[in-house]
Amino acid sequence: MTAKNSNAKWFTDGRQSEMSRISAQHLSFLAVVILVTAAFVWLILPFYGAILWASILAILFAPLHRRLQTALGDRRNAAAALSVLICICIVVIPGLVLLAALAQEASNLYVRINTRELNIGGLVTSIETALPPFMREALSALNLGSLSDIQTRLTSFLLQVSQVIATRAVTIGQSAAQLITSLGVMLYLLFFLFRDGASLTARIRQASPLSPDHTDRIFENFSSVMKATVKGNAIIAAIQGAIGGLTFWALGIDAPVLWGVLMGAVSLLPAVGAPLVWLPAAGYLLITGDYLRGIVMLGAGGLIISMIDNLLRPPLVGKGTRLPDYVILISTLGGIVLIGMNGFVLGPLIAALFVAVWQLFGEDRSQS
Task: Give pLDDT tens digits for 36-45.
Answer: 888 888 888 8
Does residue 161 sit in the same domain as residue 291?
no
Give a yes or no: residue 289 inside a domain: yes
Specify whether 81 is located in the same domain as 217. Answer: no
Whole-angstrom distance between the N-terminal and C-terminal Cα of the chain? Answer: 44
pLDDT at 155: 57
Let me know whether 178 and 246 are in one domain: no
Q: Are 279 and 198 in contact (CB under 8 A)?
A: no
Cβ atoms 279, 333 nearer than 8 A: no
Q: Phi/psi zone of residue 74: left (φ > 0), alpha (ψ -120 to 50 degrees), beta? A: left
Could you tell me if residue 2 is inside a domain?
A: no
Q: Confirm whether 249 is domain-assigned.
A: yes
Inside any domain, residue 291: yes
Cβ contact 236:307 at 8 Å: no
pLDDT given at position 94? 85
Per-residue 3-state assignment (H helix, E strand, C coil) for 132-146: CHHHHHHHHHCCCCC
Backbone angles phi, psi at 285, to 5 degrees: -65, -40
DSSP 17-52: HHHHHHHHHHHHHHHHHHHHHHHHHHHHGGGHHHHH
Low-confidence ranges of the chain (pLDDT < 70): 1-24, 106, 109-177, 270-272, 313-323, 368
pLDDT of residue 174: 45
Say yes or no: 234 and 298 in one domain: yes
The confidence score (pLDDT) of residue 189 equals 92
Residue among 257, 243, 256 at smallest CA distance from 306? 243
Quick one: pLDDT at residue 81? 92
Residue 344, in any domain of the structure: yes
pLDDT in tens, 277-287: 888 888 777 77
Same domain for 262 and 351, yes or no, is yes
Judge if 177 and 64 occupy the same domain. yes
Residues 308 and 95: their CA atoms lie apart, in Å, by 22
Co-location of 142 and 110 in the same domain: yes
pLDDT for residue 154: 55
Q: What pLDDT is attached to residue 187?
A: 92
Alpha helix positions (H), the chain = 3-44, 48-60, 62-71, 76-87, 93-114, 120-130, 133-141, 147-174, 176-207, 212-226, 233-250, 256-266, 275-287, 291-299, 306-313, 319-321, 325-339, 343-367
d(C-alpha 275, C-alpha 160), whole Å:
22
Q: Tell me: do 160 and 254 sit in the same domain.
A: no
Q: CA quadruple 205, 209, 211, 215: dihedral positive or negative?
A: negative
82 and 110 in a single domain? The answer is: yes
Does a structural domain hold residue 36?
A: no
Can you give the pTM of this predicted structure?
Answer: 0.69
Domain count, the chain: 2
How far apart are alpha carbons 123 and 216 in whole angstroms? 58
Residue 301 in domain: yes
Answer yes or no: do 172 and 225 share one domain.
no
Q: Is residue 11 part of a domain?
A: no
- Do 237 and 128 belong to one domain? no
Same domain, 275 and 321: yes
User: Using CA atoms in the order 335, 56, 235, 227, what is the torsion angle rounded to 10 degrees?
Assistant: -90
Could you tell me the residue range of the domain that residue 226 belongs to? 212-363
CB 90 within 8 A of CB 75: no
Write down which residue in 194, 223, 247 finishes a domain.
194
